[in-house]
Amino acid sequence: MQRLVVLHQRPMGESNWLLNIFSEQDGHQLVLAPRRAGRLALWQLYQGEWRSDKDWPRMTVSDRLSELKYQRQQLFCCTYLSELLIQLLPMADAQPQLFQRFLTLLEAMQTPQALEPWLRIFEYQLLQALGFGFDWHQTVEGQPVQAELSYQFRAELGLLEIDARQSAGTDQTVPVMTASQSLPGQALLELADGAFNRRNLAVAKQVLRLALSQHLSKPLVSRQLFAMP
């Protein structure tokens, strides 16, 4: 038995659900669950086990351990997180620390505090866990970020001092989809220290979206939800 969260489910034939789950010990898995047992709730903590079958492993036990409640904006966030994890997590790659951080984020959604800092922190933790991370306080040349300077984040490289871009072999003008706007060094240093004010959150969102986009196989449909009235 191990802890798991259901990220997505869809009908498979007449008698099964096909589930994307994030499990503590086995990472991202596709497993079958019988429809007669009812639908498993998304974004709740379960304890379960499964066994090998012809196409996909089959869930044999699933006990619900949480009763988390989500409002409209929180459901949008959960849908976004599911898309991220399903696209980015390698199958059967154990990520127990990331799993615990995901649970912490779901539990944080049960409080009235702002969600955006938690989302940005998890996005950064996800990149780090998958080996795609970067340092807020250091450029790709290994130079420390300085508060009085300005920087740019390049999706394929990382943080560059704006005046140093040509020396790093990059163009002065790059597509907006792969490069950030000018980023104040002070904001980057504050993010490195975990300070999330309104200005810093805008910087973090811009940088992390570029960093994640490098590794997504298709656009995230869930981002359209946040634009809904």
Q: Is residue 140 part of a domain?
A: no
* Final residue belonging to a domain, choices 64, 85, 105: 64
Residue 45 lies in a domain: yes
Q: What is the pLDDT of residue 164?
A: 54
Do residues 185 and 191 touch, judged by C-beta distance below 8 A? no
Any domain includes 92: no
Tell whether 33 is covered by a domain.
yes
199 token code pair: 């200005």
Express each pLDDT in 52-71 by its tens digit: 988 899 999 899 999 999 99
What average pLDDT does the chain have? 90
| Contact assessment for residue 34 and residue 16, using Cβ atoms and an 8 Å cutoff | yes
Of 14, 42, 64, the residue that ends a domain is: 64
What's the confidence (pLDDT) of residue 223?
85
CATH number at residue 36: 2.40.50.140
- Structural domain that includes position 167: 150-213
Looking at the 3D structure of the chain, how many domains does it have?
A: 2
Residue 126 lies in a domain: no
Beta strand residue intervals within the chain, DSSP E? 2-12, 16-23, 27-34, 45-51, 58-64, 150-154, 158-161, 183-184
Residue 152 has pLDDT above 60, yes or no: yes
111 in any annotated domain: no
Domain annotation covers residue 11 = yes
pLDDT band for 178, please (50, 70, 90 cuts).
low
Residue 46: helix, strand or coil by DSSP? strand
**What is the structure's pLDDT at 175?**
41
206 Cβ neighbours under 8 A, 6+ residues apart: 153, 180, 181, 183
Q: What is the phi-psi region of residue 205: left when phi exceeds 0, alpha when psi lies from -120 to 50, beta otherwise? A: alpha
Residue 91 placed within a domain: no
- Residues 133-143, mean pLDDT to the nearest whole number: 94
Please, are residues 9 and 42 in contact by the beta-carbon 8 Å criterion?
A: yes
Reply yes or no on whether the pLDDT at 166 is more than 50.
no
Last residue within a domain, chosen from 64, 79, 109 = 64
